[in-house]
Structure 1
Amino acid sequence: MSYAIVGFGKVGQALARAFARKNINVTVASRRPPEVLAPQARAIGPTVVAKSLREALAADTIILAVPFEEHREVAKALPNWNGKTVIDTMNTLAPPAELDGLPSSAFVAKAFTGAKLVKGFNHLIAATLATDPIVEGGHRVVFLSGDDEDATAPVAALAKQLGFAPVKLGKLNEGGALVQGRGGTWGQLIFQDLFKKEQ
């Protein structure tokens, strides 16, 4: 399984650190050319490699860490997203009318034709996401939701590999609503820094 993080701001860099801690290879890309990202990528760790957006999108799993309003531009970079899993880490407080009345991730999924979309890694602030998730005798929780269990299960496995405790919330419009903004208010689980103790 190959991974790419698209967007190299605070959240993208925090996730890159999670991959680096576990020596898992990950490509990073953004609107900026790879040579601009390369020094920061190298500083995070040798398994983090900056590439062009086109090269990054060859990965099996794409982690979207761009500002919400930029997701459509990323989606246009491929004619279709068949066979790809897209992990949506983005947050927005856009009014429901702007999202066709859908949860934000369901709205994003429409742009990525053919992809399997999973909401995840979005409820923690970047500074917390960047720190080691193994703390206080347990693992920091990440919430996952998606309409396709075949996609959610591998993302849960990745979260576990990165040291997090994945908690599946079900479909995007069910449990997933707990970690999404809607009409100016955040879902109840946004910004909750929770831990799961070792059994």
Structure 2
Amino acid sequence: MSYAIVGFGKIGQALAHAFARKNIDVTVASRRPPEALAPQARAIGPTVVAKPLQDALEADTIILAVPFGEHREVAKALPSWEGKTVIDAMNALVPLEELDGLLSSAFAAKSFTGAKLVKGFNHLIASTLAADPVVDGGHRVVFLSSDDEEAIAPVADLAKQLGFAPVKLGKLNEGGALVHARGRTWGQLIFQDLFKKEQ
């Protein structure tokens, strides 16, 4: 399984730290050329490699960490998203009317035709996401939701590999609504820094 993070701001870098901590290879890309990202990527760890967007999108699993709205440009970079898993780590700080009455992930999913879309890694602030998720014998929780039940399992496996405790919330418009930010409306689980003890 290959991974890429698209967007290399605070959240993208925080996720890159999580991959580097576990020595898992990950490609990073953004609107900026790879050489602009390379020094920061190298500073995070040797398994974090900056590449052009087109190359990064060859990964099986792509984490979207771009400002909401820019996802459309990312989506246009591939003719088909068939066979790809897209993890939506974005929060939509836009007026609700811009989302056609949908949750932000359902709205974003329309751009990624054929992809399996999973909402995840969006409810924690960057500094928390970048920190070691294992504390006092517990694992920091990440919430996952998707309208494609099968898509959640590999993302849950990735979360575990990164040291997090995945908690499945079901479909986007059910449990997933708890971790969605839309306009000025924040889901009840946003910013909830929870831990799960090992059984």
Give the whole-Å Cα distance in 1 for the aligned partners of 2:92 and 2:182.
8
2:79 match:
79
- What amino acid is the match of 1:5? I
Q: Which aligned pairs between 1:38-53 and structure 2 lie closer than 5 A?
A: 38-53=38-53
Q: Is 1:173 equivalent to 2:173 in the alignment?
A: yes
Secondary structure of 2:98's aligned partner: helix
Secondary structure of 1:86's aligned partner: strand
User: TM-score if structure 1 supplies the norm length?
Assistant: 0.98
Q: Which aligned pairs between 1:139-158 and structure 2 lie closer than 5 A?
A: 139-158=139-158
Deviation (angstroms), 1:198: 1.1
- Does the Cα contact within 8 Å between 1:144 and 1:176 map onto a contact in 2? yes
Q: Which runs of 5+ in 2 are unaligned?
A: none
Secondary structure of 1:68's aligned partner: coil
Secondary structure of 1:153's aligned partner: helix
1:20 match:
20
Give the whole-Å Cα distance in 1 for the aligned partners of 2:75 and 2:90.
14
Q: Residue by residue, what CA displacement relative to the aligned partner does 1:44-86 show, whole Å, maximum 9, x if unpaired?
A: 0010000000000000000000000211010111111000000
Give the whole-Å Cα distance in 2 for the aligned partners of 1:161 and 1:179.
22
* Identity %, equivalent residues: 85
Q: Which runs of 5+ in 1 are unaligned?
A: none
Secondary structure of 2:74's aligned partner: helix
RMSD (Å) for aligned C-alpha atoms: 0.8
- What amino acid is the match of 1:112? F
Deviation (angstroms), 1:37: 0.7
Q: How many residues align?
A: 199
User: TM-score if structure 2 supplies the norm length?
Assistant: 0.98
Give the whole-Å Cα distance in 2 for the aligned partners of 1:184 and 1:38.
35
Q: Residue by residue, what CA displacement relative to the aligned partner does 1:11-51 show, whole Å, maximum 9, x if unpaired?
A: 00000000000000000000111111111111100100000
Give the whole-Å Cα distance in 2 for the aligned partners of 1:32 and 1:23.
25
Q: Which aligned pairs between 1:1-199 and structure 2 lie closer than 5 A?
A: 1-199=1-199
Deviation (angstroms), 1:183: 4.6
Give the whole-Å Cα distance in 2 for the aligned partners of 1:69 and 1:102.
14
